Amino acid sequence: MRCRLIKPLDIKSFTAIDTDKHRFTPLFDALKLYESQKVTSFDVPGHKRGLDEQSELYYYGSSVLRHDVNSMPQLDNYDNPKGVIKEAQALLADLYLADEAHFLVNGTTEGIQTMIFSICKPGDKLILPRNVHKSVLNAMALADVTPIYVSPEFDIKFGIAHNLSYDHVKAAIDNHPDARAIFIMNPTYFGAVSDLKAITELAHQHDMPVLVDEAHGAHFRFSPHLPISSMEAGADMAATSLHKTGGSFTQSSALLVRGDLIDKRKVKSVINMLTSTSASYLLMSSLDIARKNLALNGPRKFEQLMPVIQTFKQAVNAIPGFHMLDGKAFKELYQQQLDESKLTIYIDSTIDLSGFEVYRLLRSDYNIQMELAEPNLIMGIVSIADNEEVLNRLLNALQSISKLHHQADREVHSPVLKQLAIPEQAMSLREVLYADKRAINIEEALGEICAESLMIYPPGIPIVMAGECISQEIVDYWQFINNQPIIKIGTENSNQVYIIEKRGQ
């Protein structure tokens, strides 16, 4: 696969990184110093920094065990950082252009919970996409927040949901000027990016803070050829999964905060409420290390990687039966930008395999692990750790699969999926959380209140959310998709649905 630079669709202004400032890892350096002192441990954790060399924990390496430590003056305290944790978080904030950054050891789920708990009071309205992550729904249920759902743009060909349009967000604000905040993804799981800067400016005109699920956008900061990051767009808070595309350990994330619309003391108070008092130093130090690597090497590596990705996509589009999201067409159709580091590969019906079968085949026959599979899709994620050799392995595998499984005379058709009208909200998410529930057949559920969200993948947009009324349209559509090779999320029996059990039933 020969690499040639393709002019990107969008080039954002790039704020330079002060690399001299980021050559240090305060927390990681303190851990290494502590390890070198060979301290006799009468504190936790119970493996005593790997004292028992016969333990199978040694499989992970003695350095891992020696760095798995507890809070102490030399290593600072997560609940009230004043030393090396505070220094490391300040460097992370500087890198991402935030006022503050907080290490998270329970993933971006914790960051999403913190954003909603910090901003919203019981009964407050939150404007958000219909296709949000389940952690958002759980946080709203716990905080007793009223969702104002906005339908995302829907891709008929690929059968997936993308992001929110500016016009739809504006309509939601106009219809609900009393909403407390806007919640948005940057990007979606499949890499769709709204005009976040324009949406943020609009929200701020109405004194509404913008909360961002940036789980899949930790890399945006490091290339002018990638979409704008949340802090660059002026958002107020963002939960950013550095473990997904930034190189830190799984479950490590960060909460970024900026601006005057956020009570920063309350944010820290909520974080302390949600986080273990034994925050993992392995996870936190991996954030410190990832931050340094991104600052020193991120821009250079992405400059090398982006044209390789573009060439890979062109090559995949030339393979019979496989198609990739095209950034130019994507922008024309949806007025949204595409994160080119997401490899969303559509498998048309001339390939006699489903997305699930291609996913399994890549793993079993080609030793390639993709991020996910859907009936008509596979998707992979590229990070700065990848290179041309790695992408060539996937390209060669797809070419091989096409040779074996492409049938030119098969009819090409798109998924028969659609968006439904958003149903009436009859109960709050919190009321549903504590209500009694029972399962009934879907054909008997007309007019009942759904007790659990029903959705299909793709597109990942709920057909009906918990607390919403089940209409005839929903009954008909759920029965229709039961006959389709589609993942259905709801009850174990796909012909049933959980409903709120009313008194006397």
CA 404, 406, 409, 410 torsion: positive or negative? positive
**All domains in the chain, ordered by first residue:** 21-295 (3.40.640.10), 301-405 (3.90.1150.150), 429-500 (3.90.100.10)
- DSSP 8-state secondary structure symbol assigned to residue 349: T
The one-letter amino acid at 355: G
Alpha helices, DSSP H, located in 144-192: 166-175
Task: Please give the Cα distance from 293 to 34 (Å, whole number).
Answer: 22
Task: Please give the Cα distance from 101 to 240 (Å, whole number).
Answer: 10
Q: How does strand 372-374 pair with strand 377-381?
A: antiparallel
pLDDT of residue 4: 46
Are the C-beta atoms of 245 and 216 separated by less than 8 Å? yes
Q: What is the tens place of the pLDDT at every residue in 217-250?
A: 999 999 999 999 999 999 999 999 999 999 999 9
The CA–CA distances, whole Å, from 453 to 130, 461, 463 equal 11, 10, 8
Instruction: Provide long-range contacts, Cβ within 8 A and 24+ apart, for 309-313.
Output: 309/340, 309/341, 309/343, 309/382, 309/391, 310/5, 310/6, 310/340, 311/1, 311/2, 311/3, 311/4, 311/6, 312/1, 312/343, 312/391, 312/394, 312/395, 313/340, 313/343
Report which of 221, 209, 152 is spatially closest to residue 461, judged by C-alpha positions.
152
pLDDT of residue 478: 83
Per-10-residue mean pLDDT, the chain, length 505: 49 84 96 88 81 80 86 92 97 98 96 97 96 90 95 84 94 98 96 96 98 97 95 97 96 97 97 94 97 97 94 96 88 91 94 92 97 88 94 98 93 67 90 93 93 71 87 87 63 77 65
Q: How does strand 125-129 pair with strand 146-150?
A: parallel
**Single pTM value for the model:** 0.91
Task: Please give the Cα distance from 343 to 339 (Å, whole number).
Answer: 9
Angle between helix 84-95 and helix 26-36 axes, rounded to 10 deg: 150
Task: Please give the Cα distance from 93 to 99 (Å, whole number).
Answer: 6
- DSSP 8-state secondary structure symbol assigned to residue 442: G
Task: Please give the Cα distance from 9 to 26 (Å, whole number).
Answer: 38
Task: Please give the Cα distance from 204 to 392 (Å, whole number).
Answer: 45
Task: Please give the Cα distance from 391 to 313 (Å, whole number).
Answer: 10
Q: How does strand 146-150 pair with strand 160-161?
A: unpaired
Task: Please give the Cα distance from 48 to 41 (Å, whole number).
Answer: 6
Task: Please give the Cα distance from 136 to 140 (Å, whole number).
Answer: 6
